[in-house]
Amino acid sequence: MQIDVFTLVPHAFGWLTERRPVAAVLGTMLDLRLFSYRDYTPLRAAQVDDEPYGGGAGMVLRVDVVAAALDAVYGGSPSHRVVALTPQGRQLTQEIVEELAGEDALTLLSARFEGFDERILTHLCSDAISIGPYVLSGGELPAMVMVDAVARLLPGALADESHRIESFSRELEGGLEYPHYTRPAEFRGWRVPDVLLSGDHKRIEDWRREQSRARSVH
């Protein structure tokens, strides 16, 4: 899968690419490319944004700048999905992550300041996605959230296939995962449930399903 991220802060992605799951699939199942709008802007002095028409605070990412960046990289509009990261988009869920992980290629557009010129959303993007109902200062963290969530579903990303049974998975009927415990078995009088120490795999499995269902009921 190829994921291209367009950003004003490409170096922000350093940490993400050095760690699992992304590091595990980079160069094999995942080709992650980072592009700076400033490298493609047709404007002078690496300008990428401008004041909003009608007045008001903040700067708006220009449509001609984003179009120039897409043209330079793809020679026009890409045939794959182009996702704008915006708090006004469809809210990200595990279902959407799974859907996106099935794509061969994906482009993520992030903005800063006041956000995108609306024409970027209406003419240059196929999707608008929000990572939650709150406002961050830029699209870099949302892009990293998306890359991490998608990358961990790619074959080889996780050594132990642990994403097969986890919160929101089909295996748990879309519900929340059961609780986990590790050593020590008792700490300050707080004991690990006896069933987990029993060695009885059937009972443990039943207990986990029951716990998962109980915590998934709202």
Contact residues toward ligand SAM (CB under 6 A) are: 85-88, 110-112, 114-116, 130-132, 134-139, 142
Q: Is 83 helix (H, G, I), strand (E, B) or coil?
A: strand
- Ranges of H-type helices in 78-200: 94-101, 118-119, 140-151, 194-197
Give the other-Cβ count within 10 Å of 51's Cβ.
Answer: 12
Rounded Cα gap, residues 68 and 42, in angstroms: 7
If the CB atoms of residues 21 and 139 are measured against ligand SAM, the closer one turns out to be 139
Contact 127, 81 (CB under 8 A): yes
Q: Look up residue 73 and give its two tokens.
A: 């990289």
Q: Please report how close the Cβ of residue 100 comes to ligand SAM at its closest, in angstroms.
A: 14
Contact 58, 52 (CB under 8 A): yes
If the CB atoms of residues 92 and 172 are measured against ligand SAM, the closer one turns out to be 92
If the CB atoms of residues 10 and 87 are measured against ligand SAM, the closer one turns out to be 87
If the CB atoms of residues 24 and 109 are measured against ligand SAM, the closer one turns out to be 109
Give me the residue whose beta carbon is nearest to ligand SAM. 139
Facing residues of 50 across strands?
Answer: 60
Q: Give how far Cα 206 sits from Cα of 128, 158, 178, 196, Å.
A: 40, 25, 11, 11
If the CB atoms of residues 138 and 175 are measured against ligand SAM, the closer one turns out to be 138
